[in-house]
Amino acid sequence: MERETLEFDVQFVGAGPAGLAGAIHLANLIAAHDAAVAAGTAGAKAIGEVSIAVLEKAARVGGHGISGAVLDPRALAELIPDFRAQGCPIESEVTRDDVYFLTRGGHLRLPIVPPMLQNHGNLILSLGNLVGWLAGIAEAKGVFVLTETPAAEPLLDERRVVGVRTGDKGLDRRGEKKPSYQPGADCRAKATVLCEGPRGTIAKQLEHQLGLTTGRNAQVYSTGVKELWDVPAGRAHRGRVIHTMGFPLPNETFGGGFIYGMTDSLWSVGFVTGLDAHDPRNDPHGNLQRFKTHPLVASLLQGGKAVAYGAKAIPEGGWWAMPELAADGVLLCGDSGGFLNGARLKGIHLAMKSGMLAAETLFECLKAGDFSAARLAGYPGRVAASWAAAELRSVRNFHQGFEHGLFAGMLGTAVGIATGGRDLFLRDRVRNVPGYARMRKLGGASGAAANGGSHAPAPASNSVSGRFDGTRTLDKLADVYLSGTRHDEDQPVHLHVHDTSVCATRCRTEFGNPCQHFCPAKVYEMVPDPEHGPEAIKLHINASNCVHCKTCDIADPYQIITWVTPEGGGGPDYQRL
Ligand code: SF4
């Protein structure tokens, strides 16, 4: 069967806020330019028909979209000034901000909300709903939004990116062709804009091939895990925003909780856990479950039930960890480019702005008929001159401050505010190490011993494993059910573990198989392996549970897990996340 080739002028990989804002802005710029030329008010010649595509791996736009989400509407207002009149799916304006420090059983409300956590003027919404709405606007402007189209590998002409190859369809579990087999298409474009989210499949390959991260800080990540809670009317507070520090995390681990009032009967409840923790039993899903047992949180959820679940990795490294944003034939936007303000817990506005700045660069390329590397290099310059860079530079050492624990991080944040982004020692740039490199081995004892010599995972210090009540606290499988996740079972496993003997030997001994803890969807299990002896264990991968959060690709201490795209359309089906 012949591989299909699709040719576009410009393609965005990923129908998230960056890709869709970029596609809409580019279509707007072209339309305005050509209208001005037609009216005789612009001297240049018309650009004419331009094919703009957005490639999306989910079955529908928004199906894989998840965020807190409290939106700073700055970029949205630049893109669509009358966004309210156009029906932007806003749940609520923010009406109240609270920040709490939680101890195991108590809480302390901060008398003043730190400036970066003040949300006056911001909007509570569902990212999935926002991008679904943006996709409709993009399509109305002639943008091709192609769902079930996962970009699996870059197409290179020497060092120039000329497009992406999408994943094959119709392969069975062993990789053999089924009657329904269809080879992936080659999507070629004059420029490809990567908006894949964190740890993008194409971006990761290009980082290695083109050296996009050379000389940069390591990108460090958290995993955000979230549930929607339907509660009796009046128990939730529409517009209320709560952030927490402390319980259930130890001082040394970065992260915190959030509760956003979407309606008077719907809370968005989530927990962010740093993936640069020392504890190999660090469990983002378990942390959310423990968070909900805190009396303050439990009182807000009383009488309610979880109705949706999802998880995603969050790039926390900030300004110094951003990769090269432009190379020959390719630009990086959104989470793929590290556009996230960890101090504000916000990335959507930066993602949208980055897509728009990429669009302005591409518009110049179209006018000049020149997509050379030199012209694409205008994009990082546009970023540097924008409010997005000013915002990111002002918190450029934020996450590094938390490497020494919560209190050092808070002090560092205060110094950063006073100095415009410098750290406690007034350094402009604080270097870091990748999060996985900070994972500590199980204290001297072998992992097998720490696990009681059995195949059972070590009881995580920060997990409620085994104590889920099925109502307030849910186990991973119950939550996966709420994520709507589905994959065709008869397809190749999309989690590539390059040497599974490491799992059964070194990793078991040194770290106690942390994949069992950090995966928020119970994809990884160590099971008995009687063929190799009564004490032997082996890795079993429940790939169909995967919610595409990318945590395993990031957090594995041996860096031998590669998340590759499953068959298009597979994965979660997030509703209102
Ligand atoms: Fe996330 Fe990896 Fe687990 Fe999938 S397998 S849910 S990407 S940690």
379 and 404 assigned to the same domain: no
Q: Do residues 510 and 566 lie in contact, with contact meaning Cβ atoms separated by under 8 Å? A: no
Residue to mutate, 282, 559, 563, ligand 1, most ligand atoms under 8 Å from C-beta: 563
161 shares a domain with 14? yes
Judged by DSSP in three states, 177 sits in strand
Q: Are residues 452 and 331 in the same domain?
A: no
> How many independent structural domains does the chain possess?
3
Tell whether 539 and 401 lie within a shared domain.
no
- Any domain includes 149: yes
Identify the CATH number of the domain in which residue 529 sits: 3.30.70.20
Q: Which residue lies with its CA nearest to atom 3 of ligand 1?
A: 519
Report the alpha-carbon distance of residue 368 to residue 99 in Å, rounded: 50
Residue 385 and residue 404 share a domain: no
* Residues of the chain falling short of pLDDT 50: 444-464
The pLDDT, as a whole number, for residue 449 is 35
Lookup: tokens for 129: 């709903």
245: tokens are 């520090």
For residue 347, the enclosing domain spans: 5-78+131-167+184-217+320-393
Of all protein residues, the one whose alpha carbon is nearest to atom 1 of ligand 1 is 549
Neighbours of 302 (CB within 10 A): 11
551 lines ligand 1 (CB under 6 A): yes
Q: Is there a single domain that holds both residue 464 and residue 551? A: yes
**CA angle (119, 123, 128) in 5-degree steps:** 130
Residue 354 domain-assigned (yes or no): yes
Length of the chain: 577
Mutate to test the pocket of ligand 1, among 523, 525, 542, 556 (most ligand atoms within 8 A of CB): 523
460 & 335 share domain: no
Q: Whose CA is nearest to atom 6 of ligand 1?
A: 546
Dump pLDDT digits (tens) for 340-354: 999 999 999 999 999
Tell me how many degrees the CA angle 179-176-7 measures, rounded to the nearest 5: 70
Q: How do 123-125 and 70-71 pair as beta strands?
A: antiparallel
Strands across the sheet containing 90-93: 70-71, 123-125, 90-93
In a domain, 48, yes or no: yes
64 lines ligand 1 (CB under 6 A): no
95 located within any domain: no
If asked whether residues 451 and 525 sit together in one domain, one would say yes
Measured CA to CA, the distance from residue 545 to residue 527 in angstroms comes to: 17
CB of 339 closer than 6 A to ligand 1?
no
Which residues are CB-contacts of 444 (< 8 A; sequence separation ≥ 6)? none
pLDDT digits (tens, 9 = 90+) for 308-341: 999 999 999 999 999 999 999 999 999 999 999 9
| Rounded CA separation 541/157 (Å) | 36
Clarify whether residues 369 and 419 are in a common domain: no
Question: Is the CB of 563 within 6 Å of ligand 1?
Answer: yes
> Do 424 and 475 fall within a single domain?
no
- State the distance from the centre of ligand 1 to the C-alpha of 11, rounded, in angstroms: 27
Query: Are the beta carbons of 219 and 207 closer than 8 angstroms?
Result: no
Question: 30 with 47: CB under 8 angstroms?
Answer: yes
DSSP state of 571: B
Residue 124 lies in a domain: no
Contact indicator for 415, 438 with CB cutoff of 8 Å: no
Residue 67 located in a structural domain: yes
Task: Give pTM, 2 decimals.
Answer: 0.95
* Cis status of the peptide bond prior to 315, with omega within 30 of 0: no
β-bridge partners, 310: 226
Q: What is the pLDDT of residue 466?
A: 56
Q: Is residue 267 part of a domain?
A: no
- How many Cα atoms occupy the beta-carbon half-sphere of 368 within 13 Å? 13
What is the best residue among 477, 551, 562 to mutate for testing ligand 1's pocket, by most ligand atoms within 8 Å of CB?
551
Centre of ligand 1 to C-alpha 311, Å, is 9
Residue 202 forms part of a structural domain: yes
Last residue of a domain, one of 393, 420, 452: 393
Residue 466 and residue 381 in one domain: no
CB-ligand 1 contact for 521 (6 Å cutoff): yes
Of 527, 436, 516, residue with least CA distance to 476? 516
Query: Which among 282, 485, 519 is the best mutation to test ligand 1's pocket, defined by most ligand atoms within 8 Å of the CB?
Result: 519
CATH number for position 345: 3.50.50.60
What ligand 1 atom has the least distance to the C-alpha of 553? Answer: 2
Q: Are residues 334 and 456 in the same domain?
A: no
Which ligand 1 atom is the nearest neighbour of the CA of 519?
8
